[in-house]
Structure 1
């Protein structure tokens, strides 16, 4: 037993002042929320009057036809989307897009009663809100509903507040029916500019769900599309984390940037409004900063250049470029507005996941092996054995010394590839990895 200078009681007394700081940091950065589960690669927005039970299959079929017509082979798809032209990568991307369009073209669906729907007669919006909810229930019964789905009502701005809350009531009432809503429900609150709006929306949701007998928490996303929202981001997230109404939490699970409203509010001209504009990227970076360590997902915006004839390839390339740029910045979700964008979305995502995947697996395998060696050396040292040493600072037995934080990031890449079906247990085993190790490293 080695002798220390400061006794344990003195260390405890000197660090006691950090106890409230520890509690505050734990509350502010709780880690994974366990709310909506796997983060989808996109949220597809659909005007409420277009909603029908088989809409996901319809979008998938339309995307498949575009793929067959405009990119029937791997080389053409790689050229059209700016993907890796290497034969093996291009073939894997094309196969992945073909598979996903047939099996899970849409990962997250948002029925839209806001900007994508517009202002209509009250009777028309009433009917569309109810019909959309009934179609979602029918989709769930037929096994056609994505893992996540929900509604974007109108905002809490005074001019449309009553209309938006009435539609929310009609939608949830029809969706719950007698047996509750299908799993995966998320409500998106647009044009939030102040924490009080989020608290009031949570109060309305709580009152509704109490009356409807909706069990458990309500997952909520907010759209960051005003300058005031960007300035209020820290308080908005604090409010979202603290939401608790009638004994049940209303979980804030996502921050979504509203590219075009936000750009316009800053005076950026229509030709320059895009999610890769520096002003919008500043907003998404701020969103990432305030959401880090909270379990709240951050989503990029959309591309308004739609893949329609005669410019399908140009639209695909622009969309895929935006998706790749977002992924390189750590933004793994965006909006899609058109079935044709499913092609460029899934192609770009597959390309991002496959790019460097072999190197990522090797680095992660080396990191895990080094951690195992370190643990063995510590056990040996406790037994009086000599530590032979291994690896660098925190990891990497190979050419890169990976820190634990980088190990988590590498595991995150591998996990996304696992979720996408681009890597399997055999490939993990070849790298000296197991699925449970990857999950544990991600946290």
Structure 2
């Protein structure tokens, strides 16, 4: 007996009408990963201390603190990382080539209240220094400012700093490609809506393309995790941001303090921190918005044993958030750079062989004991791609071990979730 479908054209059209809103929501609010590079860390410095030479100076200081290549290898061995000599060479090269991936000139906690005249001058000077850094090739890939928050006491001051900074940048030419604006201490979705409005006004005033100005939101208050109505503003704010929100950043100490956690127990790994970041991670899934962990204020300074203990803590915390699928964090001091890169590079290098083998088997349809699906292949490709972008892996390693081209890697990593197994290349 031959089967015959019974759904009519009218029925199918009805399904299309019923799901039109869903289709629009998925396309607009859950576009997936755009492929834009995500820095592995963000460094904050007081705005008035930035000069174009600062990133290189941080790299030199970090390498010196670690004791050069030999010291990096010894540190990696002490931390129990595989391939310490190889890691040391790669990290030393990174500290010389690109010591800071993302730099924020801070006008908030790191700057304080110095009066309007001083901050006006500092905002203009900061834009001038950024322009100079970009023009001379000394700027990190991502650079921008954190201005004061939109709470009533600091709102007008923060907006004026932002306004002066953008105007001064544009007075010297185009905005830097890697410009990042940080909106801190957000407590309500309305503050995000206000920031969207401000961006629109600045774009109109300066004849910028619509959507050119984007910003990241610092998650430092419990009101974004659970509102007074019992909703989750962390998710809502992403969808009222009109595509302008680039990332959510967890603020370790402000968030912990707001929950009444004693100072000695405020940490990136406190259960309260994990809960907030778990909520944030679910909220950003599929949206293309990046997620960043916070910082540790235990710095590698003082006596040798204090430095070693701080390095061990930092390396463990970096590895911890990487294993949990959070690929960015904050660094507060140049001496944290050695462990930022050692821990990050070890994460990618230790997992590379297995990921490359599974991706190779998937692409070439080799029989193996693990049968990966497209979603897993995408995760494998993204893991390798992130390692390549930050410098932990080389193009030669990837093409020879995974037996695929970089274009194939890119295609799989950025494939939409709806692509089928037959669409791999």
**TM-score, length-normalised on structure 2?**
0.90
How far does the alpha carbon of each residue in 1:394-442 deviate from its partner, in whole angstroms, 9 at most, with x for none?
xx72121212211111101111122133132454234321111111111
How far does the alpha carbon of each residue in 1:65-96 deviate from its partner, in whole angstroms, 9 at most, with x for none?
11226x7345421144x242x4xx21121111
User: Helix, strand or coil: the match of 1:78?
Assistant: helix
Q: 1:267 to 1:176 in 2, by over 3 A?
A: same
Q: In the alignment, what sits opposite 1:435?
A: 406
8 Å contact kept, 2:58–2:334: yes
2:89 counterpart of 1:95: yes
> Alpha carbon RMSD of aligned pairs, Å?
2.0
Structure 2 Cα separation of the partners of residues 74 and 298 of structure 1: 28
2:213 counterpart of 1:218: yes
Structure 2 Cα separation of the partners of residues 426 and 270 of structure 1: 45
Higher mean C-alpha displacement, 5-14 vs 192-201: 5-14
Aligned length: 405
Q: How does 1:65-214 map to 2 (within 5 A)?
A: 65-68=64-67, 72-73=70-71, 75-80=73-78, 82-84=79-81, 86=82, 89-214=83-208
Structure 2 unaligned regions, length at least 5? 415-425
Structure 2 Cα separation of the partners of residues 181 and 439 of structure 1: 28
Q: How does 1:26-425 map to 2 (within 5 A)?
A: 26-33=27-34, 37-68=36-67, 72-73=70-71, 75-80=73-78, 82-84=79-81, 86=82, 89-216=83-210, 217-231=212-226, 234-244=232-242, 251-310=244-303, 311-370=306-365, 397-421=367-391, 422-425=393-396
Higher mean C-alpha displacement, 291-300 vs 409-418: 409-418
Structure 2 Cα separation of the partners of residues 4 and 150 of structure 1: 62
Q: 1:162 to 1:427 in 2, by over 3 A?
A: closer
8 Å contact kept, 1:150–1:186: yes
Q: 1:349 to 1:19 in 2, by over 3 A?
A: same
Structure 1 Cα separation of the partners of residues 148 and 19 of structure 2: 44
Q: In the alignment, what sits opposite 1:4?
A: 4
User: Helix, strand or coil: the match of 1:111?
Assistant: strand
Structure 1 unaligned regions, length at least 5? 245-249, 371-395
How far apart are 1:234 and its partner, in Å? 4.9
8 Å contact kept, 2:105–2:146: yes
How far does the alpha carbon of each residue in 1:270-322 deviate from its partner, in whole angstroms, 9 at most, with x for none?
01111111101111111110100000000000010111121221111111111
8 Å contact kept, 1:83–1:351: no
Structure 1 Cα separation of the partners of residues 34 and 183 of structure 2: 19
Structure 2 Cα separation of the partners of residues 411 and 183 of structure 1: 26
Q: In the alignment, what sits opposite 1:373?
A: none
8 Å contact kept, 2:105–2:145: yes
**TM-score, length-normalised on structure 1?**
0.87
How far apart are 1:265 and its partner, in Å? 0.6
How far apart are 1:238 and its partner, in Å? 4.2
User: Helix, strand or coil: the match of 2:67?
Assistant: helix
User: Helix, strand or coil: the match of 1:303?
Assistant: coil
8 Å contact kept, 1:83–1:348: no
Structure 2 Cα separation of the partners of residues 61 and 4 of structure 1: 73
User: Helix, strand or coil: the match of 1:275?
Assistant: coil
Higher mean C-alpha displacement, 306-315 vs 106-115: 306-315
User: Helix, strand or coil: the match of 1:231?
Assistant: coil
